[in-house]
Amino acid sequence: MDWQDIVAFGIVGVTLAVLVAKQVRRRKPGFHPGGGCSGCPAAASASPPSIVLRGRKGGTSTLSVRME
């Protein structure tokens, strides 16, 4: 085996170890993006606004934001 093969296998091994470590790592409880606020039920039940973009090739496009 050449020294280049050893270096290539080393890089692959380190990458594999990092990916496996990230999968196995325990997650800390805390803020989760998109999880909502557990302390305020009114904010969790509100739905986000819906955004609709309509347009045709060569025509004008319209953007509609509907707050529900």
**Taking the domains of the chain in order of start, what are their residue ranges?**
1-26
Q: Are the CB atoms for 42 and 49 separated by under 8 Å?
A: no
Q: How far apart are the first and last CA of the chain?
A: 65
Asked whether the predicted pLDDT for residue 60 surpasses 60, the reply is yes
Mean pLDDT, rounded, for 3-17 = 96
Phi, psi of 11 (to 5 degrees): -65, -45
Of 65, 33, 23, 27, the residue nearest 48 (C-alpha): 65
pLDDT at 9 over 90: yes
Taking residues 10-38, what's their average pLDDT? 78
pLDDT reading at 37 higher than 80:
no
pLDDT in tens, 47-57: 777 888 888 88
